[in-house]
């Protein structure tokens, strides 16, 4: 039976993914990722940090691109701490219109981060002031994140029973103008049963859409995201699952985008429930995953769900025999469903490339190979040189085409000025 309420995808690669130790993306790579996510029909991309100076040009340029229709229907959202100061910086320096505001709710984190200076009621006050400030500043859609929600115990540090703290937190956010509540399993601590129960209980009490933000420290990220979402649906509200491309994210990572989509479409009973946002186009999966792997410099693991090299490889006698008779013997889905046949193969042998130290002749040749006759070749050369400087990698065909199509946006994205502005 199809459900009225749906599960939407909010991808957080450009926020949680890039804040991960040892890996990162250039502003152009973040932009390309937004572009690919929009092609895939993702509901919303958490594009970065509007309170952070080096994100401003990138964020404003991406918002302009979205206004021109370059990002389809995908919403672009910023992440900030639930503090008035961060909200003020975000609205002063960027045109961001959708914000998620984050604050810790667990005793262990509030104790650890605020040195015992703030109790639960102080956290509520900080959060509601930040939400009210965002609302007043004209932010159109606000999500409120309870960081470490799963470890937010039902009692205070002086052992007073306070089971409804997360509900009070979400209701206070709603009363001040928030539209969504993000339940963060920040340490990947929940189990499928516990997250289902917690989310259902909160959703029933607050009747607002719930976001699931699950980490993978115990290998539960995808399962917890899906079961948490089912808790929200069973309480009669929409669910939004936070994903990252290839599961990139802090420590053991976040819920992997492709795994979540496949689980929502293909796992036992899900086909009949039909809960996934119908805009999702899984055939763009390979494009976004292979791009992210290249951009992060982190190869896709051989056994990665859906897009790993072995996801459709069969060797052992019984499996190969079974496959040859009927692929459904050993496959729940097929490579073409994930768009795996389409990928860019870099040519070998004699080849002209362009990049950080390239010149006009080479540039024109490269673009001719892509079927593009440049009019403003001096400007494009300058942008290509800077893009290669930022990426420190050969530019992909899509990046080169993007630069030629949106030179003004690319110029803004590539402009990073470290001088202090306030």
User: Footprint of Zn ion on this chain (CB under 5 A)?
Assistant: 16
Q: How far is CA 248 from CA 74, 149, 322, in A?
A: 21, 21, 34
The least CB distance from residue 225 to Zn ion, in Å, is 12
Nearer to Zn ion by Cβ, of 16 and 256: the residue is 16
Q: Closest by alpha carbon to 398, among 386, 387, 389, 412?
A: 387
Over its C-alpha atoms, the chain yields an Rg (Å, rounded) of 23
By beta carbon distance, the residue nearest Zn ion is 16
Smallest distance from the beta carbon of 100 to Zn ion, in angstroms? 11
Nearer CB in complex with Zn ion: 16/399: 16
Minimum CB distance to Zn ion, residue 216 (Å): 10
User: 137, 169 in Cβ contact below 8 A?
Assistant: no
Q: What angle do CA 61, 67, 70 make, to 5 degrees?
A: 80
The nearer residue to Zn ion, 147 or 399, going by C-beta atoms, is 147
CB of 112 to Zn ion, least distance (A): 17
DSSP letter, residue 361 = H
Nearer to Zn ion, 16 or 227 (CB): 16
Residues 6+ apart with CB under 8 A from 109: 147, 148, 151
| 46 vs 238, beta carbon nearer Zn ion | 46
Q: Select 215 or 265, whichever has its Cβ closest to Zn ion.
A: 215
- In the complex with Zn ion, the residue whose CB is nearer, 248 or 366, is 248
Residue written as token pair 């306030």: 422
Distance CA 298, CA 411 (A): 27
Task: For the CB of residue 51, give the shortest distance to Zn ion in the complex, in Å.
Answer: 17
Smallest separation, CB 217 to Zn ion (Å) = 11
Tell the smallest beta-carbon distance from residue 388 to Zn ion (Å): 31
Q: How far is CA 150 from CA 104, 182, 198, 238, 249, in A?
A: 11, 11, 8, 20, 18
**C-beta of residue 346 within 8 angstroms of C-beta of residue 375:** no
What is the b/e burial string over 29-66, where b = at least 16 CB atoms within 10 angstroms of the residue's CB?
bbbbbbbbbbbbbbbbbbbbbbbbbebbbbbbbbbebb
């Amino acid at each position: 039976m199809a459900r009225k309420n749906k599960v939407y995808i909010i991808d957080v690669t450009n926020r949680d993914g890039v804040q991960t130790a040892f890996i990162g993306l250039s502003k152009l790579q973040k932009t390309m990722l937004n572009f690919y996510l929009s092609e895939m029909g993702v509901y919303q991309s958490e594009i970065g940090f509007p309170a952070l100076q080096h994100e401003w040009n990138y964020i404003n340029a991406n918002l302009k691109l979205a206004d021109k229709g370059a990002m389809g229907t995908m919403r672009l959202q910023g992440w900030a701490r639930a503090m008035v100061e961060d909200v003020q910086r975000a609205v002063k320096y960027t045109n961001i219109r959708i914000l998620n505001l984050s604050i810790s709710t667990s005793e262990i984190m509030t104790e650890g981060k605020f040195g015992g200076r703030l109790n639960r009621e102080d956290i509520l006050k900080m959060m509601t002031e930040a939400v009210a400030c965002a609302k007043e500043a004209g932010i159109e859609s606000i999500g409120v994140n309870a960081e470490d929600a799963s470890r937010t115990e039902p009692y205070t540090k002086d052992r007073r029973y306070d089971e409804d703290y997360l509900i009070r937190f979400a209701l206070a956010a709603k009363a001040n103008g928030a539209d969504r509540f993000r339940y963060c399993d920040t340490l990947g601590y929940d189990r499928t049963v516990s997250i289902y129960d917690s989310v259902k209980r909160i959703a029933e009490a607050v009747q607002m859409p719930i976001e699931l933000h699950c980490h993978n420290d115990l290998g539960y990220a995808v399962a917890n995201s899906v079961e948490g979402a089912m808790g929200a649906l069973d309480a009669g509200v929409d669910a939004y699952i936070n994903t990252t491309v290839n599961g990139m994210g802090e420590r053991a990572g976040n819920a992997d985008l492709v795994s979540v989509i496949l689980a929502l479409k293909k796992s036992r009973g899900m086909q009949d429930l039909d809960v996934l946002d119908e805009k999702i186009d899984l055939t763009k999966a390979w494009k976004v995953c292979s791009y992210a792997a290249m951009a992060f410099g982190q190869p896709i693991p051989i056994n990665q769900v859906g897009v790993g090299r072995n996801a459709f490889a069969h060797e052992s006698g019984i499996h190969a025999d079974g496959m040859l008779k009927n692929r459904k013997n050993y496959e729940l889905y097929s490579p073409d469903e994930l768009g795996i046949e389409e990928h860019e193969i870099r040519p070998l042998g004699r080849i002209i490339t362009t990049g950080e130290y390239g010149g006009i002749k080479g540039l024109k040749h490269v673009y001719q190979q892509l079927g593009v006759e440049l009019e403003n070749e001096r400007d494009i050369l300058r942008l290509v040189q800077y893009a290669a400087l930022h990426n420190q990698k050969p530019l992909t065909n899509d990046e080169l085409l993007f630069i030629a199509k949106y030179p003004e946006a690319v110029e803004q994205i590539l402009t990073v000025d470290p001088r202090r502005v306030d």
